[in-house]
Structure 1
Amino acid sequence: MIKVLIADDQALVRGGFRVLVDNEPDMTVVGEAGDGAAAAEQAVACRPDVILMDVQMPGVDGIEGIRRIAAEPALSGVRILILTTFDEDDYVIAGLRAGASGFLLKNTDPAQLLHGIRVVAGGEELLSPGITRRLIARAAKPDAAVNHDVFAQLTTREREVVALAAQGLGNDEITRELVISPATTKTHISRALAKLGARDRAQLVALAYRYGLVKGGGE
């Protein structure tokens, strides 16, 4: 049973998500929160598998909520999905850096939302290729030129795989692009995660932006 915590400042939104999730035989809502502080508190109390986290909430917003949850060792297995709209790109990037496992559009199809919950609960990432490419294109600037100290521990192939993942390519697309086997792609991703100390693929994307492995604005 996948335990879900819903964090949103609008009671009607939380109620809609609750009905959707609770109608699934393999999911249950274990808690609700109206802001990021309450989400962090509820996460400790309820120990959910997945948190659906709104970002724009009064008081403590979702980004700070994610930071608090990611900083709690006992919650290391909790996966967080940011709920976003098209005009919240900065929040998405900040959320990925803070420790979120991916993002969904608030107006996503219900079946896709449920699929997304299952995907991240299973330990995989949830990054929409189209939105990821758009985020990269709209990123004003990376924090710096390529920081070779950060990526020096990666092999050339691992850097290529991380860069492609950051451009929104899924494993199948990376496999075709580099003409390698699916197992090899997964191995490179896993090794890059371990070497960079990233908790999941979403953080690989954030690192690729932040340290210039992938540049915004089509550079």
Structure 2
Amino acid sequence: MGEKAEIRVVIADDHALVRGSFRLLIDHTPGLTCVGEASTGRQAVEVARRERPDVLLMDVRMPKMNGVEATREICQGPHALDTKVIVLTTFDLDEYVVGGFRAGASGFLIKDVPPHELIDGIRTVVAGDRLLAPGPLRRLIEAHVATPDRPVTPLPQITGREREVLVLVAQGFSNDQIASRLGVSMSTVKTHINRLLTKLDGRDRTHLVIAAYESGLR
């Protein structure tokens, strides 16, 4: 199987200027095409179900249904789609970001991200990788779990090696780096990560990071 010939993208934002700017960028990038727009969360769900895009750029604050709720409808439940949702927001510590990840989002970007980083981000989630860089991700999760009375969520039964891998994933290490640190093969690391995703009911590596922080691992 070769690389996907064309990545189909939907843009959901309540500002027409933002949608227009993103659409212009996407339609002028080889291998990408915009197949729809939405100005509300409800429209985003409807367009996603109609067009079944590869990626949906989801503004977190929209009328009639916010981006987190729309993401949950698209990514979870009996009518879940394979669409990868990238949450877009104005601030890198937006209160909705962790909620978006837990709802099933595959990535997170600031709206004023440079054009090439937006395009790279779209391609990254289509490839099945996480989008958020380790530094901002740690800040986000730490802000989310740092409340004094926050209960610690226990992990299910995982092996000692899986715990080691989970800690390294939470610290932002790539599969290559994890393999090197633990002295194991890439395929072994991937096996551990797949088992962790199954045991922790995770959609991608971002959910593993959230689970690690919520359980008290660092």
TM-score by length of 1: 0.87
Deviation at 1:111, TM superposition (A): 1.1
**Structure 1: 4+ residue segments shifted above 6 A:** none
Gaps of 5+ in 2: 1-5
Aligned residue pairs total 211
- The one-letter amino acid paired with 1:185 is V
User: Where do 1:47-126 residues align within 5 Å?
Assistant: 47-126=52-131
Distance in 1 (CA, whole Å) between partners of 2:120 and 2:200 is 28
Q: Which has the higher helix share?
A: 1
Deviation at 1:146, TM superposition (A): 4.6
1:61/1:25 Cα in 2 relative to 1: closer, same or farther (>3 Å)?
same
CA deviations 1:85-138 (Å, max 9, x no partner) are 335432111111111011112121211111111111122221211101212332
Distance in 1 (CA, whole Å) between partners of 2:31 and 2:106 is 20
CA deviations 1:40-85 (Å, max 9, x no partner) are 1111111011111110223311011111112344433111111123
Query: Which residue is 2:142 aligned to?
Result: 137
Deviation at 1:143, TM superposition (A): 4.4
Distance in 2 (CA, whole Å) between partners of 1:143 and 1:3 is 40
Moved more, 136-145 or 77-86: 136-145
- Greater relative contact order (Cα < 8 A, sep 6+): 1
TM-score by length of 2: 0.87
- Secondary structure of the residue aligned to 2:95 is helix
Query: Which residue is 1:217 aligned to?
Result: none
Report the aligned-residue RMSD.
2.0
Distance in 2 (CA, whole Å) between partners of 1:187 and 1:133 is 24
Query: Which residue is 2:193 aligned to?
Result: 189
Please say if 1:21 is aligned against 2:26.
yes
User: What percentage of aligned pairs have identical amino acids?
Assistant: 51
1:34/1:94 Cα in 2 relative to 1: closer, same or farther (>3 Å)?
same
- C-alpha contact 1:171 1:186 (8 A) present in aligned 2: yes
1:200/1:109 Cα in 2 relative to 1: closer, same or farther (>3 Å)?
same
